[in-house]
Structure 1
Amino acid sequence: MSDPLTDKSQAGKGSTVSESPLAGRWEQLGSRVAERADVTLDEVRDVFATYGVPLVLTPARPRALRLVRLRMSGVRAGNVAAGAFDTTIPFGSGLTALVASNFRGKTSVLELITWCLRGSPRELQSGVKGWLHQLDLDITVGEQHLGFRLDLEEGSITNAVVLAAASSTALADRRAPSAAQHVHAVLHATGDQSYADQVENLMLDRLDLVPVVNAFKETGTQTHGWPTYFAALYLGSASTKILLGDQKIGGLAGRLLQVFLDLPAAAALTRVRTAHDVRANQIRDRQAEERRAAEASAHEREQLQSALTAERSRLAELTSQTEGGESLSELARRAARLALEVADARTTDDDARLAAHHTLAERRRAAKRLTDVRESGVARALFQGLDPDACPRCDQAITTERTRLEQESHACAVCSREVEIDGVDDAEVVAEAEARLAAAEQTDNEAQAEAARTRDELARLTGELSVVDGGLRRAQSVASLPDVVESQRRIWQLEGGLAVLPEVVLDDGEESSEARTLRVLASAAKVLDDANKNAAEELFADLNDEIAELSRRFGMNSLEEVKIDRSARLRVTQDGGGKDWFSDCNPGARLRLRIALVIALLRVGAAHGVATHPGLIMIDSPKAEEVQDLDATTLFRELAKVAEEQALQVVITTRDYDLVHAVLDEAHSIEAVEGEPLW
Structure 2
Amino acid sequence: MTTTFASKVAQKSGRSLEVVRAVLSDRHIVDAPTPAVSRQLRLKALKFSGEKQVHHTVEPFSFEWAPEQQGVNVIASEGNFVGKSSILQTMLWAVRGEPKALTATVQGWIKHVLAEFQAGDRHVRVEFDVDDGIPRGAIEFLGADGEALHSMPFLTADMFKSHMNSVMLDALGLEPIATSREVASLEKTVMYADGWAAYTGAFLFDSDSNALIGEHVGNDLAQRLLQVFLGIPWATTLFQARAAKRVTEALVQSRKRRLGQLGDRSVEDLQTRLAEIERQILDGSAQQAALAQLEAARKRYEELSESASMLKASATVLNAEVVAGTEELNDKKRALLEIEEEMAASRFFGRLSPTCCPRCTRAFDKRRIENEKTSGDCSVCLTHLDQEVQVDYEALKEGMAKEVSKLEKLLGSVTTKAQEVGTEFDQTRRDLEAAALEVSRLAASGTAQEEQKLRLEAARIEGMLEAVSKLVQSDNGEEADLVVLDAAVDVAKELVEEAAEAVLKRSGDLICSLVQRLGMVDVEKVVLKRNASVEVHKGGSISFFTRLSPGERLRVRIATVMALLQAAQQFGAGRHPGFLIIDSPAKEEMADANVEEMLEALAELSRSVQIQLFVAFKGTERALKHFPEDHCLLAHEGELLW
Same-fold call, TM cutoff 0.5: yes
Q: Specify the SS of the correspondent of 1:294.
A: coil
What is the aligned counterpart of 1:629 among 563, 575, 592?
592
Q: Which structure 1 residue ranges, 5 or more long, are not aligned?
A: 1-24, 172-181, 319-481
d(CA) in 1 for partners of 2:59 and 2:609? 41
| C-alpha distance 279-562 of structure 1, shift in aligned 2 (>3 A) | same
Is 1:284 the counterpart of 2:284? The answer is no
Matched letter for residue 633 of structure 2:
I
Aligned match of 2:153: 188
Task: Please say if residues 291 and 447 of structure 2, whose CA atoms lie closer than 8 Å, have aligned partners that are also in contact.
Answer: no
- 1:464-489 CA-partner distances (Å, limit 9, x unpaired): xxxxxxxxxxxxxxxxxx97993265
Task: Please say if residues 27 and 55 of structure 1, whose CA atoms lie closer than 8 Å, have aligned partners that are also in contact.
Answer: no
Aligned match of 1:375: none
1:236-385 counterparts in 2 under 5 A? 236-237=206-207, 240-294=209-263, 311=286, 313-314=288-289
d(CA) in 2 for partners of 1:56 and 1:540? 18
Identity value in percent: 27
- 1:410-455 CA-partner distances (Å, limit 9, x unpaired): xxxxxxxxxxxxxxxxxxxxxxxxxxxxxxxxxxxxxxxxxxxxxx
Is 1:231 the counterpart of 2:205? The answer is no
Aligned match of 1:13: none
Matched letter for residue 24 of structure 2:
F
1:413-492 counterparts in 2 under 5 A? 486-487=446-447, 490-491=450-451
| C-alpha distance 611-626 of structure 1, shift in aligned 2 (>3 A) | closer
Task: Please say if residues 161 and 186 of structure 1, whose CA atoms lie closer than 8 Å, have aligned partners that are also in contact.
Answer: yes
d(CA) in 1 for partners of 2:162 and 2:476? 40
Post-superposition offset of 1:31: 1.5
Equivalenced residues, count: 475
Post-superposition offset of 1:111: 0.6
Task: Please say if residues 129 and 156 of structure 1, whose CA atoms lie closer than 8 Å, have aligned partners that are also in contact.
Answer: no
- 1:268-296 CA-partner distances (Å, limit 9, x unpaired): 21111111122113312322332342258
- The structure whose Rg is larger is 2
What is the aligned counterpart of 1:544 among 486, 496, 508?
508
Task: Please say if residues 65 and 615 of structure 1, whose CA atoms lie closer than 8 Å, have aligned partners that are also in contact.
Answer: yes
| C-alpha distance 165-575 of structure 1, shift in aligned 2 (>3 A) | same
d(CA) in 2 for partners of 1:646 and 1:222? 34
Is 1:132 the counterpart of 2:110? The answer is yes
Is 1:98 the counterpart of 2:75? The answer is yes
Is 1:561 the counterpart of 2:537? The answer is no
Counting helix residues as a fraction of each chain, which structure ranks higher?
A: 2
Aligned match of 1:207: 172
Is 1:118 the counterpart of 2:91? The answer is no
Aligned match of 2:25: 49
Aligned match of 2:334: none
Aligned match of 2:617: 654
Task: Please say if residues 620 and 653 of structure 1, whose CA atoms lie closer than 8 Å, have aligned partners that are also in contact.
Answer: yes
Matched letter for residue 44 of structure 1:
V
1:597-612 counterparts in 2 under 5 A? 597-612=560-575
What is the aligned counterpart of 1:33 among 6, 9, 15?
9
What is the aligned counterpart of 2:582 among 619, 622, 627?
619
- Pick which of 210-219 and 304-313 moved more: 304-313
What is the aligned counterpart of 1:494 among 449, 454, 473?
454
| C-alpha distance 491-526 of structure 1, shift in aligned 2 (>3 A) | same
- 1:620-663 CA-partner distances (Å, limit 9, x unpaired): 01012111111111101111111220121111001122321221
Post-superposition offset of 1:251: 1.3
Is 1:220 the counterpart of 2:190? The answer is yes
Task: Please say if residues 241 and 582 of structure 1, whose CA atoms lie closer than 8 Å, have aligned partners that are also in contact.
Answer: no
| C-alpha distance 493-571 of structure 1, shift in aligned 2 (>3 A) | same
d(CA) in 2 for partners of 1:185 and 1:66? 20
Matched letter for residue 483 of structure 2:
R
Q: Specify the SS of the correspondent of 2:607.
A: helix
Task: Please say if residues 315 and 484 of structure 1, whose CA atoms lie closer than 8 Å, have aligned partners that are also in contact.
Answer: no
Aligned match of 1:405: none
Post-superposition offset of 1:58: 5.6
Post-superposition offset of 1:184: 2.4
Task: Please say if residues 507 and 567 of structure 2, whose CA atoms lie closer than 8 Å, have aligned partners that are also in contact.
Answer: yes
- Pick which of 128-137 and 547-556 moved more: 128-137
Task: Please say if residues 512 and 524 of structure 2, whose CA atoms lie closer than 8 Å, have aligned partners that are also in contact.
Answer: yes
What is the aligned counterpart of 2:482 among 518, 526, 547?
518
Post-superposition offset of 1:231: 0.7
Q: Specify the SS of the correspondent of 2:486.
A: helix
Q: Which structure 2 residue ranges, 5 or more long, are not aligned?
A: 183-187, 294-441
Aligned match of 2:553: 590
CA-based RMSD of the aligned residues comes to 3.4
| C-alpha distance 542-57 of structure 1, shift in aligned 2 (>3 A) | closer
Q: Specify the SS of the correspondent of 2:231.
A: coil
Matched letter for residue 573 of structure 1:
H
- 1:95-154 CA-partner distances (Å, limit 9, x unpaired): 111012211011111111111110111111222223333211111112221111122335
- 1:328-386 CA-partner distances (Å, limit 9, x unpaired): xxxxxxxxxxxxxxxxxxxxxxxxxxxxxxxxxxxxxxxxxxxxxxxxxxxxxxxxxxx
Aligned match of 1:64: 40
Task: Please say if residues 65 and 140 of structure 1, whose CA atoms lie closer than 8 Å, have aligned partners that are also in contact.
Answer: yes
Task: Please say if residues 621 and 653 of structure 1, whose CA atoms lie closer than 8 Å, have aligned partners that are also in contact.
Answer: yes
d(CA) in 2 for partners of 1:559 and 1:135? 44
Q: Specify the SS of the correspondent of 2:255.
A: helix
| C-alpha distance 486-184 of structure 1, shift in aligned 2 (>3 A) | same
d(CA) in 2 for partners of 1:81 and 1:207? 44
| C-alpha distance 194-560 of structure 1, shift in aligned 2 (>3 A) | same
Q: Specify the SS of the correspondent of 1:219.
A: strand
d(CA) in 2 for partners of 1:274 and 1:631? 43
Post-superposition offset of 1:616: 0.7
- 1:535-578 CA-partner distances (Å, limit 9, x unpaired): 1111000111111111111111222222221111222222321x
Q: Specify the SS of the correspondent of 1:88.
A: strand
| C-alpha distance 264-307 of structure 1, shift in aligned 2 (>3 A) | same
d(CA) in 2 for partners of 1:149 and 1:317? 86
Is 1:144 the counterpart of 2:122? The answer is yes
| C-alpha distance 132-487 of structure 1, shift in aligned 2 (>3 A) | closer
| C-alpha distance 565-236 of structure 1, shift in aligned 2 (>3 A) | same
| C-alpha distance 250-61 of structure 1, shift in aligned 2 (>3 A) | same
Task: Please say if residues 554 and 635 of structure 1, whose CA atoms lie closer than 8 Å, have aligned partners that are also in contact.
Answer: yes
d(CA) in 2 for partners of 1:499 and 1:653? 73
Task: Please say if residues 99 and 670 of structure 1, whose CA atoms lie closer than 8 Å, have aligned partners that are also in contact.
Answer: yes
**TM-score normalised by length of structure 1:** 0.64
Matched letter for residue 186 of structure 1:
S
Matched letter for residue 110 of structure 1:
L
